[in-house]
């Protein structure tokens, strides 16, 4: 089959991890006889340097014309400590999410048996973790009205949600739960926030259409604690934009490295696949970044294309590599391999010629 993939590598380690996912996708194309066309376009700080715009129109056109977008990472330290910067790399990603209508960000969190001792958390706690976070992605405080007073001494960000925005992601979360352990946990702050109370009301209503699925509620402060006290209690976590951003980084501690967590952002049209980690500027150009989050995001893209055998082949090759103890620096201080090694080994496993891979 033929697929057009927009490739937005972005900043920092983005290009390095994307190079490995593309390598893996090419291995899939070769073994399963597919045609993947990769169309590269710039986004983030690099796009600001080139054009002054973190999401140039040409990039948006490439994305809209694609079957899916493979996204690296964005962000550059030169903007982080400059609160007065008018144009920021992150605006590129936020605008892209909005323009493509990517209202649901799906972030699976699992514990790999062979990596149980890599997490700072106790083995007994993380063993058996298998949850997926459904994070709302185009609403809430990220996109509400922003104000800064004339004198620069008062600022506000509005957190707003409509029934429609809540319903559409709630349906996706319940549908996912039906294929998993039939449990949805809504994470909110309904004891304080009006918007959270609307979430509870709307999600409770949606739940009636899914009688087999149990719906639980957790306040976000408690959820943050439960995530690392007893993560295996969770199946599907449903939450608003900012809470989802925060608890998914927390979830990465369970797997041992944020460099393992993939995500899919879906909506009504073109979907986008990106690791949950950022641009990790300190590692840029050093060939030490973990490309697995990006490679697993590519596997989620294959699932989205309906290519489930191919997606499974990628996941199996990843598991095999990790199980052999072949990991990047984030997971093994001493005996680590490089970013490109990992991509070569996973692609080689897919092509069934892992023995020819040197590392
Ligand atoms: C993420 C990132 C982004 C977010 C940033 C880069 C805007 O942290 O995808 O989790 O906050 O959504
Ligand atoms: Mn984040």
Is the domain of 4 the same as that of 54? yes
pLDDT band at 354 (very low <50, low <70, confident <90, very high): low
Residue nearest to atom 6 of ligand 1 (CA): 90
Same-domain check for residues 58 and 130:
no
The mean pLDDT value for 145-153 works out to 97
Residues touching ligand 1 (Cβ under 6 Å) are 75, 90, 93-94, 245, 276, 278
Confidence at residue 197, expressed as pLDDT on a 0 to 100 scale:
98
Contact present, 341 and 359 (Cβ < 8 Å): yes
The answer to the question of whether 97 is labelled as a binding residue is: yes
Longest CA pairwise span in the chain (Å)? 65
Of 226, 258, 290, which marks where a domain is finished? 258
Q: Which ligand is nearest to the CA of 96?
A: 1
Q: For residue 264, is it within any domain? A: no
Whose C-alpha lies nearest to ligand 1, atom 9? 276
d(CA 349, CA 345): 6
- Atom from ligand 1 closest to the CA of residue 74: 6
Residues 117 and 91 in one domain: no
State whether 211 and 135 are in the same domain: yes
- Tokens linked to 298: 């590519």
Last residue of some domain: 235, 258, 281?
A: 258
Whether residues 214 and 283 fall in one domain: no
Pair (112, 242) in one structural domain: yes
Residue at 301 is within a domain: yes
Q: Is 80 considered catalytic here? A: no
Residue 135 marked in a binding site: yes
The whole domain housing 116 covers 107-258
pLDDT band at 200 (very low <50, low <70, confident <90, very high): very high
Residues of the chain with pLDDT > 90: what percent? 93
Q: Which of 26, 175, 249, 320 is catalytic?
A: 249
Ligand 1 centre to CA of 166 (Å) is 20
77-114: pLDDT as tens digits = 999 888 888 899 999 999 999 999 999 999 999 999 99
Whether residue 278 sits in one domain with residue 313:
yes
Kindly state whether residues 307 and 339 are assigned to the same domain.
yes
168 assigned binding-site residue: no
Instruction: Please name which ligand lies nearest the alpha carbon of 274.
Output: 1
Which residues are paired to 332 by β-bridges?
A: none
Mark whether 193 and 238 lie in a shared domain.
yes
Q: Whose CA is nearest to atom 5 of ligand 1?
A: 90
**For a substitution probing ligand 1, which of 245, 246, 297 has the most ligand atoms within 8 Å of its CB?**
245
Residue 245 belongs to some domain of the structure: yes
> How confident is the model at residue 352, as a pLDDT?
85
Among candidate residues 238, 258, 278, the one where a domain is terminated: 258
Q: What's the confidence (pLDDT) of residue 333? A: 60
Task: Examine residue 263 and state whether it is found in any structural domain, yes or no.
Answer: no
Q: Does residue 221 have an active-site annotation? A: yes
How confident is the model over 330-352, as a mean pLDDT? Answer: 90
| Contact between residue 136 and residue 103 where contact means Cβ atoms under 8 Å apart | yes
Q: Is residue 171 part of a domain?
A: yes
> What CA–CA distance (Å, rounded) separates 66 from 57?
14
Sign of CA dihedral 246, 226, 214, 305: positive
Residue 142 annotated as catalytic? yes
Of 126, 130, 101, 107, the residue nearest 116 (C-alpha): 126
Paired strand residues for 186: 217, 238
Atom of ligand 1 nearest to the CA of 93: 7
DSSP annotation string for 222-246: HHHHHHHH-GGG-SEEEE-HHHHHH
Note the pTM of the prediction, 2 decimals: 0.95
Inside any domain, residue 244: yes
Task: Check if 323 is active-site.
Answer: no
Q: What is the ipTM of this complex?
A: 0.99
121 and 241 inside one domain: yes
* DSSP summary character for residue 117: G
Task: Specify if 40 maps to a domain.
Answer: yes
pLDDT band of residue 334 (cuts 50, 70, 90) is low
Minimal-distance CA residue to ligand 1 atom 10: 245
- For residue 287, the CA-to-ligand 1 centroid distance in Å is 23
253 inside domain: yes
CATH number at residue 41: 3.40.718.10
Distance CA 230, CA 219 (A): 15
309: annotated binding-site residue? no
| Whether 218 and 113 share a structural domain | yes
Say whether 61 counts as a known binding-site residue.
no
The count of domains in the chain is 2
Q: pLDDT tens, 266-324?
A: 998 999 999 999 999 999 999 999 999 999 999 999 999 999 999 999 999 999 999 99
For the CA of 137, the nearest atom of ligand 1: 12
């Amino acid at each position: 089959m033929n697929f057009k993939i927009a490739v937005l590598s972005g900043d920092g380690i983005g290009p390095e991890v994307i190079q490995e996912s593309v390598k893996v996708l090419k291995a899939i194309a070769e073994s399963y006889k597919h045609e993947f066309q990769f169309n590269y376009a710039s986004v983030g700080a690099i796009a600001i340097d080139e054009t002054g715009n973190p999401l140039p129109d040409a990039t948006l056109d490439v994305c809209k014309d694609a079957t899916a977008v493979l996204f690296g990472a964005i962000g550059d330290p030169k903007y982080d400590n400059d609160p007065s910067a008018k144009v920021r790399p992150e605006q590129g990603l936020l605008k892209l999410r909005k323009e493509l209508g990517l209202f649901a960000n799906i972030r699976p969190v699992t514990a790999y048996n062979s990596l149980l001792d890599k997490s700072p958390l106790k083995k007994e706690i993380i063993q058996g973790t298998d949850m997926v976070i459904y994070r709302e992605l185009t609403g809430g405080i990220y996109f509400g009205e922003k104000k800064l007073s004339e004198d620069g001494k008062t600022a506000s960000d509005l957190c707003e949600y409509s029934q429609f925005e809540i319903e559409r992601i709630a349906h996706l979360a319940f549908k996912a739960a039906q294929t998993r352990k039939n449990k949805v946990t809504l994470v909110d702050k309904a004891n304080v926030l009006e918007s959270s109370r609307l979430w509870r009301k709307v999600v409770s209503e949606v739940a009636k259409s899914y009688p087999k699925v149990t719906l639980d509620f957790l306040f976000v402060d408690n959820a943050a604690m439960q995530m690392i006290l007893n993560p295996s209690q969770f199946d599907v976590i449903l939450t608003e934009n900012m809470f989802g951003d925060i608890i998914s980084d927390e979830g990465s501690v369970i797997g041992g490295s944020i460099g393992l967590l993939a995500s899919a952002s879906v909506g009504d049209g073109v979907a986008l696949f990106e690791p949950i980690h950022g641009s990790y500027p300190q590692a840029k150009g050093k060939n030490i970044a973990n490309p697995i989050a990006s490679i697993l995001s590519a596997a989620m893209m294959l699932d989205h294309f309906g290519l489930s055998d191919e997606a499974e082949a990628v996941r199996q090759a990843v598991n095999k590599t990790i199980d052999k103890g072949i990991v990047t620096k984030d997971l093994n201080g001493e005996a680590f391999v490089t970013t490109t090694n990992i991509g070569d080994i996973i692609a080689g496993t897919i092509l069934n010629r892992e023995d020819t891979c040197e590392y």
